[in-house]
Amino acid sequence: MRWHDEYDIPGSSLARRLEVVRGFLRPLLDRPRRVISMCAGDGRDVLPLLPSGSRAVLVEWDPALADRARQSAPSGVTVVTGDAGITDPYASVAPAEVLLACGVFGNIPYADTCRTIEALPTLLTPGGTVVWTRAGSGAAEVRDAFARSGFEELAFSEPADARFRVGLHRLRRPAKPFAAGVRLFTFV
């Protein structure tokens, strides 16, 4: 079974996480937005919710998943088959109002998580929001990293009967200019 097959199992942890992520995204996507999704998978979290007129860049390494995202992407969405861990693919959409980092922080070293979160002000508008996920106790470190980097927590979901955690953070510090060629993270 491939990791994303779990999405199709009703009541599975991944299916439940998807509903929480969409619940956080829905009010943010109340009008056309600029959106980034890092390690986007097939984009099922954000693509069905995107208001028309939005611009989005989804970056996914797996060509099969990227193709699936491309097939369901409305106009205005660019799906890049490539490395989400460097800033270059985001050049056309930064600064974004909404950024997804779902299924990322559990797959990279904590130093990379910190570096990525510190760099998010170069990818976001002032007040831009980030929806992120992390399984289990590792979420505490992610929340710390957001707090240190000038983000306020708007929501945090920690179901008692599941390991997934979903956070929603808003940038409270001034945004920074986009910088190409910056390494954010490397998947392990």
Ligand X SMILES: C[S@@+](CC[C@H](N)C(=O)[O-])C[C@H]1O[C@@H](n2cnc3c(N)ncnc32)[C@H](O)[C@@H]1O
Nearest distance from C-beta of residue 101 to ligand X, angstroms: 8
* Residue nearer to ligand X on the CB measure, 46 or 124: 46
Query: In this chain, which residue has its C-beta nearest to ligand X?
Result: 103
* Residue nearer to ligand X on the CB measure, 20 or 145: 20
Residues 6 or more apart in contact with residue 75 via CB below 8 angstroms: none
Separation between Cα atoms, residue 176 and residue 163, nearest integer Å: 34
3-state secondary structure of 137: coil
Separation between Cα atoms, residue 16 and residue 99, nearest integer Å: 20
CA proximity to 116, closest of 129, 104, 131: 104
Nearest distance from C-beta of residue 59 to ligand X, angstroms: 5
Binding stretches for ligand X (CB under 6 A): 3, 39-41, 45, 59-62, 65, 83-85, 102-103, 187
* Residue nearer to ligand X on the CB measure, 82 or 150: 82
Nearest distance from C-beta of residue 74 to ligand X, angstroms: 18
